Structures are given as structure tokens and as C-alpha cells.
Structure 1
Amino acid sequence: MDLSFVFFLFLLSFFLIPSSTIARGGDRIPIPSGFLDKSSELLARHLFEDKQRKISEALTDGYMSNTELEKSVTEFGQRCANISRIYSIGKSVNGSPLLVIEISDKPGKEEAEPAFKFIGNVHGDEPVGRELLMLLANWLCSNYMKDSLATMIVKNVHLHILPTMNPDGFALRRRGNANNVDLNRDFPDRFYPVNDVEDMRQPETRAIMNWVKNQQFAASASLHGGALVANYPWDGSQDSRKKYVACPDDKAFRYMASIYSQSHYNMSSSTEFAGGITNGAQWYPIYGGMQDWNYIHGGCLELTLEISDDKWPRANELPILFEYNRKSMLNLVASLVKSGIHGRTFSSDTYHPLPASVTINGIDYKTNSSRRFGYYYRFLAPSESYEVMVTMPGYESKTTRILLEDEAMSLDFILDPEVSDAGRQVDDCYCNCDGQGKLVVGILGRAHLDMFLAIFVVLLFLCFLLKRKAVIRFLKRRHFPGHKRAIEV
């Protein structure tokens, strides 16, 4: 028999083996001992209906329907128009809009501030997150300019809230979307090449990916149910075994997860998870998750928050669950103001912002500053010494060492342009008009050119002094409440 035909039959049988998807939130399925031996366990994103909990009518009483949720979001936008805007990032399989609430003192305007996103209801049968996120939005609106934490968040962070990523799954009372795909197994994964197939990706997943591509988020969290723990990357391991797999920002993620756990009513006292936090792969590996994708491709540090032991508790428990999680959610967002380093990157010759890259020595991860403001934010664990390096093509890199204490540090970088040998040779400068080059020196004459250059240098120096003075005044004025004065490198 032809070997190529045998190979084809092998691949066909491999992908047709029925399987179930490993699920976070209490639906634990034993992890296969060998990734290569049983990779079909990880390839299936479709779910079996008979393995899912049946949600009764009584349990749904008191939860907002999708129509009621859309109405609630719209009414929030009208009631809190001074600090919010409502926008859509796409639609679900069945056409429900994926509506986002942005909360800021300048909603819809790009600023030199960090952005944070919350996503709820990733799994249709885990509706607590969508309810708690609406309660959080309304609490911020009601307490802005009354509560110091609410006011600090609104003034210094752009908070984006997507109450439901999976409205179809919620309506069907099941984990997957309308195509019965687990959306938290649908993202591209470093160990899972099948998810790279664009045509197989769900519209809800595409919407999130495009959202992250167009909006630079510093950090984020998705809300799940079925356990009580703050989960951080990596979520998968190369051989699919349960073991601790640390990502480059492991210290920062553990600190970030601890902020949520320690602020929670009882998460940190967990007997199952030390301190109420866990590395995803050590708990049990999953593949195609949103958390790892955000970190790898979105430049965004994301947590997976399991906020309720019961996936679908009765509605009268929601106010209690909100109080248990409210301080945690607020402190997690506020950590972008209270922790890490932030600043702007400028060019020394023009003082225009630069979209530079910010890296930390010893941490294989890059943060980019924005094109418009040259603004960057880098979440880091406190009480550590870091060597920060900024690079930009065409500019000389700059490095500085800092000791990050228990508050955020403002750190601005002014980069000097690289000067090539060709740039110093005035005699080789030509003005090419319609393909006819004319030597500048030949037109002006050597004596006139020297005088012109001397005057130009003096004017340029005066302009440099004025701009430098103005920028320094600006930098001295700009810092968040409680931050150290900006350091200029």
C-alpha cells in the first residue's frame, strides 16, 4: 500500500477520535500522561451535551436575560454619561452584540494612562461574572467623587468592562457558545497549532483578538465560576503534565494574583490553594486559553479569576458575592496606579513621543509605548531591583537601574538619535528635483554655506533650550497621586 495513503488514513483517524475538553472551574478531567499520545484530548473544542449540568428555570430567576443586560448597559451609559461610553466589539454567533462599558473621566479619548479590562461570562453556564461586573460599574458611577478609590480609578485608569463574552451560551444554559465551542479553548496557543486555523475560530474569539489588537491593555482579568482561586500563566505545559510552568513575569503575576486573593473575603484562606492563588499548569493544563494568548500576543498581563464555588448560584446570593469580590476587583484595577513603572519616551532632538520598546533585564518580555503619547506601563512586583532598557530603531538605547518599592514609579526616557557617518558629510547632500541632482554647496558657495550653518546651529540651540525647559516643567507637573516624582533618563 502507498505510504502517503497510509499516513493520510492515520491523520484522519487521529482527528476523528471523539474527546472532551478539559474545563476550568471544577469540571476536572484527568490529564493525559503524554501530550503526543493523547493529543486528541486537547484538540476538541466542542463539548458533549450529556456531560453538562442541567440548569433549571428556578436557578435562572433573578438573573438578567441578554435583552435585559443590553438594556442595563444602555441605561448605564445614559445615567453615567460623564464618565462612560458604550461600544461594541462585535457580535456572537447568533447576533447578540458584545457590548463594552468604558469608565474614565475622559472616556473614548486616548491618554497617557493605563487601560484595564474585565471580561465576564466566558462560559455560558458561569453567569456570576456578568452580574458582578454590572454591579461594579454601577458602584463606580455612584461613588465617583465620593469614595477615594473609585475616584482614583476613574481619573487615572481607562477601565473597560465586557459583561458577557458568551451571550449565546448563557441563553442556552450551557458552557459553549451557539456552536458548542468552549471559547476558553479557542485562542491560538504556543503548544496547540490547530487553533491557528483562522476559519475554525469563533466570532466571539475574533472579537476579543481584534479588540486587544486595537486597544493597548496593560492588564486584565476574566471572571469564571466553579472554584475560588486566582489563576495565572502559564496555563499549559509542553507534555500536558500537571506541573508548575512559570512564565517570564512569574513574580509579577504571583503578586498580581495575591492582590485579588488577599483583598477577597475568604479566597486567601483556601485549604486547596496556598494563599488562594495557583499557576494554571500546576492546577491542570489547558490549551487555547485566553489568558496565555493575552500575555503572548496582546502585551497584557491577564488573570483567570474563579470567583464562586457554585457556577450558577441562586440570584439572591449575588449581592453577597459582589461584596466578597468588590474590594478585590477595585484593588486589582487600582494596582495599575499604585504599582509598577510607567512613563513616556521622547526624542531628544524633537521632543516628540516615540513608540519605543521597554524591556527588563532578565525578563524575556517586551512592552511597547504608545505611538501618540510615547506612554508605557509595566506591571512589576515591588521590593525588587530592576534594570530597565528602552530601545527604538534609529535611536541609541538607554538603560537605568531602579529599586521599585511599595509604590509606583514614574520613569521617562529621552533617547538620542543615532548619527551615521553619512549624516555628518554636508558635501554629500543633494536636492533631487525631477531626477536632476544639484549640489547644495555649489549653489550657496562655501563661505555663504558656513555662515548659514552657524546661524542655523545657534537658532537650533535656542529652540532646544526652550523645548527642554517646557518639557521638564511638564514632566515635573505630571504624576499620579501617591507616585514618586518623575525620573528622567
Structure 2
Amino acid sequence: MLESKLPELVELERLIDKAAQASIPLEVRSECEIPMQGRALPVYSLALGNPSPDVPAVGFFGGIHGLERIGTQVLLSFLSGLLARLRWDHLLHQQLDKVRLVFMPLINPGGMWLSSRSNPQGVDLMRNAPVEAIDKVPFLLGGQRISPRLPWFRGAAGMPMEIENRALCRVVEGELLVRKFSIALDCHSGFGLRDRIWFPHAHTIRPIAHLPDICALEDLFSQTHPNHNYVFEPQSRQYLTHGDIWDYLYLRSSHDAEQVFLPLTLEMGSWLWVKKNPRQLLSLQGMFNPVARHRLQRVLRSHTVWLDFLARAACGHQNWLPRGLERDRHEQLAYARWYPAAQRF
């Protein structure tokens, strides 16, 4: 029954077992367990690479919304490839001496079990953090406390974050925010006809302090992979929300002026899959995930380049992170690119 309900969890545990049998140093922890129909569904964190806080890190996260299985599948495909390469790829071993790679591929297994965007308590984990929007948010979509029976429920006022979010924060704070440089990538689907890379803020239209660093990262990716099809933009350019977990974690990192933490969201454009196969509208799964086998394979292949790039960019961050006049130049470029009608905040 578990296999038919949660093949992603079965695949994740298969990869864990496979790494253990091959004596691959994959660090595995069960961060919490979600009770579901007599079972306890684990929320795993996994790590590869140098644990020293002196090296940079990249965190890969998925499955926050249970309906968006493709985010988890992309991460499992990438992780599977890394584990396979560790058997023969000497350069990958050298890379992992200089970077820490952290994975939480399935943060909301209860929601995925139920085919629900929310967790089993009806809470949208991307509206659940203790962050109140400064600027106006859209009704309901921006997060609501009316009822868990309505979408985008934030949770009851005054209650702690949901257990899944507490586990996510514990991993981010323990693995990423202890370092001078780190990147987080959270994989989602369901918005638009293009794949987008979003960055904070979601609670305000004001740009983040690390806007020049985001701009430099985009330029680096575009120079390295000039034929990519991603749209880079602040999430606030599309809509604002209360309770964004990445805004919350970014704000927690901002007390250290020397720390660079870049939380990114890969928002895969599922409308394109629906456009190519309108019958997908007949199911909730079809609205958020590619159904045709060849299309699924194409999606799993296409994002590997981006994920691998982030690991390499973290390794070499001292060579591209802008400083001095170069930082000023990238700030000007970023304002022209993403805030052209706004005066400096």
C-alpha cells in the first residue's frame, strides 16, 4: 500500500539503502515522522560532502506541496545520479571535499499521501512561517486563517510552525546558516508557461540586501549555459504572501552582514504541460506534474544542469561573488532588470 501511495518515498529509501550497500558516505537522518493511517512517514534529510562549516553548502528541498510530486522526482533523479557517479568520478570526490550538499526531497509526505497541497492538518507550509506581509497580498492566495478547508491556510494565529517546517528550519539553520556562503533551492511546480527561478522577498516588494549576488549568479549561469530557458525574478513580481518560509529563513540570516545566504525557488511551469496535453486538467495531479512518460523524462533531464551548476557555483563562489565597484555595478543591473519603475528603497 505504501508503495502504491508514495513511490517517491520508496525510491528515496531505496537510494539510502543502495548508498549504504556501496559504502557511500551519505549521511541520513529522520528529522520527524508524520502519522498517517497507522503508519509513520519519515521526513529525511541527507547530506554529502565536507561537513566543515568553513566550506560552502547547497541545500536542495522538495515536496513542500504534496501535489507537486515533480519537485521531489527532480531531486531524486539528481541524487541518484550523484550516488552513481561517486563509484567512479574522481572529480566529484574532489568537489565534495570543497562543498556540502544537503537534501530534503520530501518535506510533506503526508500531503503527498493525501494528494493535497497542504499537510494533513490542512496547513499550507509555504504560508505557515511567522512572517507578516508588509505590502498588500491577494485575497486567499496570500495566505488566510479562515479555515483549513480553504486553500492557502496559514494555520491558527499564535500556534507554532508545523512539524514539517520546524524540521526544515532545523536543517537549514544547522547545515546552511552556519556557513559564510550557502544556497537553498526549493523545487515547486504549477505557475505559468516558463520555468522560473524566484528569490525573496515574498512578503514585500522591497528588494533583498543580496540583490547584486543574485544578479551575478544569474549572469554566471547565462554565460555558462547561454541557451537556458529560465526566467529569474523576485517572487514579489508575481504575487505577495504572508508566512513564506524562505523569507523567514532569509531574515534570520540577515543579522550577520558577512554571511551570504541565497534562497531560490525553482517554479516549474506546469501550464506548459497542460497546454500540450489539455486532458491533464481532468486530474489534480495532471495540473502540477507531467503525465506523459517522455515529458517526465525531459523534465528530469533538463533541470540536472541547473542543480549541478549550483553545486559548482557554491564551490567557486569566491571567484564570482561581486565586491566593491563590481558589486555596485551588479546592483545597478539588478534594479534595471527587476525594479525598473521603482526608485531606490
**Structures share a fold, TM > 0.5?**
yes
TM-score, normalised on structure 1? 0.50
Cα distance between partner residues in 2 of 1:265 and 1:75: 37
Which residue pairs with 1:307 in the alignment? 268
Q: Which residue of 1 aligns with 2:61?
A: 119
Deviation at 1:233, TM superposition (A): 1.2
The equivalent of 2:44 in structure 1 is: 99
For 1:48-447, list aligned pairs within 5 A. 65=7, 67-92=9-34, 94=36, 95-104=40-49, 106=50, 109-110=51-52, 112-144=54-86, 146=88, 150-191=92-133, 199-217=159-177, 218-227=182-191, 228-237=195-204, 244-257=205-218, 263=225, 266-268=228-230, 276-298=231-253, 300-309=261-270, 310=273, 311-314=288-291, 316=293, 317-340=295-318, 380-381=321-322, 384-385=325-326
TM-score (norm: length of structure 2): 0.69
**In percent, how many aligned pairs have the same letter?**
18
Task: Report the Cα distance in structure 2 between the residues aligned to 1:80 and 1:258, rounded to whole angstroms.
Answer: 38
1:297-330 deviation digits (Å, cap 9, x = unpaired): 1463200111342421126233211211111111
> Are the structure 2 counterparts of residues 318 and 210 from structure 1 closer, same or farther at C-alpha, using a change threshold of 3 Å?
same
| 8 Å Cα contact 1:120-1:165 kept in structure 2 | yes
**Partner Cα separation in structure 2 for residue 173 and residue 315 of structure 1:** 19
Q: Which amino acid aligns with 2:41?
A: S
Structure 1 residue 86: deviation in Å? 1.2
CA distance in 2, matches of 1:134, 1:292: 25
Q: CA offsets per residue over residues 267-294 of structure 1, 9 Å max, x none?
A: 24xxxxxxx1111111111221122122
Q: Secondary structure at the match of 1:211?
A: helix
Q: Which amino acid aligns with 2:248?
A: W
Unmatched runs of 5 consecutive residues or more in structure 1: 1-60, 238-243, 269-275, 342-378, 388-489
Amino acid at match of 1:253: I
**Secondary structure at the counterpart of residue 247 of structure 1:** coil
SS at the partner of 1:267?
A: coil
How far did 1:232 drift?
0.9
For the structure 1 residues 236 and 191, does the alpha-carbon distance in structure 2 shift closer, same or farther, using more than 3 Å as the test?
closer
Compare CA radii of gyration and give the structure with the larger one: 1
Contact residue 230 and residue 257 of structure 1 kept, 8 A: no
Q: What is the CA–CA distance in structure 2 between the aligned matches of 1:203 and 1:93, rounded to whole Å? A: 11
2:137 is aligned to none
Question: Is the alpha carbon distance of 1:76 and 1:258 closer, same or farther for their aligned partners in structure 2, counting shifts above 3 Å?
Answer: farther
In 2, the alpha carbon distance for the partners of 1:164 and 1:264 equals 31
Does the aligned pair in 2 maintain the 1:89–1:207 contact within 8 Å? Answer: yes
In the aligned structure 1, how far is the partner of 2:73 from the partner of 2:108? 13
1:101 aligned partner, one-letter code: L
Q: 3-state DSSP class of the match of 1:219?
A: strand
Alpha-carbon contact 2:9-2:106 (below 8 Å) kept: no
Letter in 1 for 2:243: G
- Structure 1 distance, partners of 2:79, 2:217, is 21
Q: SS of 1:92's equivalent?
A: strand
Deviation at 1:211, TM superposition (A): 2.2
SS of 2:240's equivalent in the other structure is coil
SS at match of 2:310: helix
**What is the distance in 2 between the residues matched to 1:69 and 1:212?**
23
State the match for 2:281 in structure 1: none
Counterpart of 1:120, as a letter, is G
CA shift digits 1:153-174 (9 cap, x unpaired): 4221110111111111111112
Q: Tell me the amino acid that sits aligned with residue 144 of structure 1.
A: L
Asked whether the 8 Å contact 2:216–2:322 carries over to 1, the reply is: yes
